[in-house]
Amino acid sequence: MAEDQAENCGNYEAQNKAQIVQKFFRRTKDKQFGVFNNIFSAKSNIDGQDGGVVTALLLNGLKEGIFDVAIVVRSVKGYNAEAIEVDTPSGILAAKGTKYFRINVTRKLRELIKQGKKRVAIVCTPCEAKAARKIQQTLKNDCEITIIGLFCFEAFDSGKLKEKIWTQLSLDLDNVQKTQIRRGKFTAFADGKEYSCKVKDLLGATEKVCRYCDDFTAQEADVSVGSVGSDSGYSTVIIRSMTGENCLKTLDIIKASADNEGISRVAKAKRKRAKKSLADLNNRQ
């Protein structure tokens, strides 16, 4: 019975994804990357994480009138984060930096749609990008949604991560200025110093549901951004739709080649883990 349910769920997801691809995307299709128009490495003139590309996309989209309001994730006291709406450059700049938590941003999206907002951008992880796209499919009004997806292998539980970091590094995450994950290493910046450990040493702090997700590059976003596949100070950018192209059209960035093989390896590893996790779940039922 569990296997039948899993198979039916898989068939539904495949059919739904095919409908989304046909409606919103075009051009090249790749098993690891999803549907895309172009892949490259980029750096903006904004002092942000991995070249500040996401912040630059938001500032440019607001300036060009591609959207009127954006949903972003902002850090809050106690090394945590929350989804907020911003409609000014200062609001966007105040939310700079990656937050490695699973935050429900689509709840805020539904709120803005109910309020009558017509052009909304949302920055989110692959699971939330999928939910945002489903919301978009159901809309019967003229609301336009721009989805900026973030590469994500897994997210952390805030409380558990704090415990792990204290054990590994004797560091209180509530006092850090910035955190970063790159090349398998978790780094925290505090009081002018860097504290690092291997991401694999933090596995007990990750969200369990992430083990069943097989999407690393946010395949249902209009444009996806992440550090994997780019040198330090740059971000990998995957353009997937005409909306994504419009976001980049007038953006002032420095471009370079991305390491597609490196991205593919991580994407493949996540797909493999999800397949195994689902198989183990079915065997236990």
Domains (range + CATH), the chain: 2-152+210-284 (no CATH), 156-206 (3.10.450.750)
The pLDDT value recorded for residue 4 is 45
Q: Nearest-5° angle of CA 18, CA 23, CA 29?
A: 55
**Contacts (Cβ under 8 Å, ≥6 apart) of 191:** 175
Strand pairing partners for 58?
A: none
For 262-279, how does the pLDDT look when each residue is reduced to its tens digit (9 = 90+)? 999 999 999 999 999 999
d(CA 117, CA 126) in angstroms, rounded, equals 23
The pLDDT value recorded for residue 18 is 58
Better pLDDT: 18 or 37:
37
Name the least confident of 19-33, 98-112, 217-231.
Answer: 19-33
Better pLDDT: 10 or 182:
182
pTM score, whole prediction: 0.86
d(CA 230, CA 237) in angstroms, rounded, equals 9
For 111-137, how does the pLDDT look when each residue is reduced to its tens digit (9 = 90+)? 999 999 999 999 999 999 999 999 998
Alpha helices in the chain (DSSP H): 2-24, 53-63, 89-93, 106-114, 126-138, 158-169, 242-249, 260-284
Tokens 């691809």 sit at which residue?
21
Tokens 């976003």 sit at which residue?
221
Name the least confident of 102-111, 133-142, 261-270.
Answer: 133-142
d(CA 142, CA 52) in angstroms, rounded, equals 31
Specify the amino acid at residue 261.
Answer: E
- Tell me whether residue 10 is exposed, middle or buried, using C-beta atoms within 10 angstroms of its C-beta: 0 to 12, 13 to 18, 19 or more: exposed
The pLDDT value recorded for residue 22 is 54
d(CA 176, CA 190) in angstroms, rounded, equals 5
List Cα–Cα distances, 80 to 28, 76, 101, 135, in angstroms. Answer: 37, 5, 8, 26
For 189-232, how does the pLDDT look when each residue is reduced to its tens digit (9 = 90+)? 998 899 999 999 998 899 999 999 999 999 999 999 999 999 99
d(CA 152, CA 215) in angstroms, rounded, equals 8
The pLDDT value recorded for residue 234 is 95
